[in-house]
Structure 1
Amino acid sequence: MTTPPFAPVLDSEIRVVSSQLGREARGIVGIAARCVCGNPTVVATAPRLPQGTPFPTFYYLTHPAATAEMSRLEAGQVMVEFTELLENDEAVRQQYERAHEAFLADRAQFGDVPEVAGISSGGMPTRVKCLHALAGHALAAGPGVNPIGDLALERSAWSPQRCECQDPGAALKDDAA
C-alpha cells in the first residue's frame, strides 16, 4: 500500500513547484501526484529539510488551484464537520488511523527523524487539522486510503481530472530532450 519510491525529480519539475509555491522548493524527493497535464500537484518532501529542519508533512499539496480550494473549504468550517464524523464513525476513525500508519511508512523510506517520530500530518490519526495535507495524502496514495482527504477532494470544486494550470505541461517541456 505504500506509494514510494518515486522517479528522479527533474530540474524543470522543481522550477514548476517553486513557481507554484512562490518560493524555492526545498527537500523534494518525488512528485507524488500530477495534474492531467503532467505538472506536479503533490510533492513528497524529505522528513528533514536540507538545512536540517524536521519536516513531518511528507505529502505537500502544491497545485495553486487545489490549495486555494482546500483553503476555501477550511474557511467554510468543513473541518468541524469532518472532525465530528471522525468522532462519531468508528469505520472512518479506523480507516483514518490506517491512513496515518501508511503515511508514516511512506515517509520512513526517506529517513528516520526522531523529532517527528509518530507524527504524520493534517491531524492524523485523531483530529482534522489541515485539509491541504490530507488532500495531498489522498491524491498521492489514491482513493480509499485517507477517508478525510477523499472527502475534502469530493467536496472540492477543484478536480485532479481537469487542468487548471497556468502553464499546462510546463514540467515536461525542458527535460523532454
Structure 2
Amino acid sequence: MPLSPVTKLYSVQDCKISPLLTDPAAGAATYGDPIDVPGIQTMAISGSMETKVLRGDNMKLASNSALTDVSVQVTHAKLSVAVLAAILGGASTAAGTTPTQTLTWDLSSDDATLPPFKLEGITPPNGVDIIGGDLHWILHKCSLSAFPDLGFAQEDFRVVSFTAAADPLISTGKWITAVLHETYTAIDDGS
C-alpha cells in the first residue's frame, strides 16, 4: 500500500549543512561532506508569494500568483566553528598542544561573498504518522540572508541562529524536497 501523503510533523532530531561545490546547468549538483548542526532546536521554512490581480469592468477578473522567495530559519543550541565556516566562509586554525590548545575561526574582508550550502533536517523516528518512519526537509541551495545571531547572554545559555534564503538549483530547478520514509533513515553522512 502506498504511503499516505498526509502526516503529522513532530520535533526535529538532526540537521546537517553540506557545502554546495558545483551546480552546473548540465549535470548534477555536488556537495561537500555534511556538517552537523549541533543541538538543532528549530528549522522553520517560509516563503513569499507575489499575486497579480486583473481588474476590468469594475470587478476582479482573474489573479495569478508566483512563488518569489523561500527562506529558512534555524536555531541550534551549540556553536559550531565548522557550521560558521560553511555558511559564512572564513577559516579555522587549530594550534598548540594540551593543555594550551586553541581553535580559532577568522572571518576576513576576503569572505564578503557567502558560500552556498544545502540544508537538511529530519524528524525523529515516529515523528510522522508512520510508526518508525521519518520526514526529511531538504533545501538544496541556500545562502545566508542575515548575519547569524551569535554572542553571549547574561546568566543564561546563548543559542545560535541563522536565516538563509533558498534558491532553485541551476542543474535541476529543485528548491525544496520533502521525503517521507516508511522506515527511519538517517541523513546521509557523505561516506
TM-score > 0.5 by shorter chain:
no
Higher fraction of strand: 2
Higher fraction of helix: 1
TM-score under structure 2 normalisation? 0.25
TM-score under structure 1 normalisation? 0.26
Structure index of larger Rg: 2
Higher-RCO chain (CA-CA 8 Å, sequence separation at least 6): 1
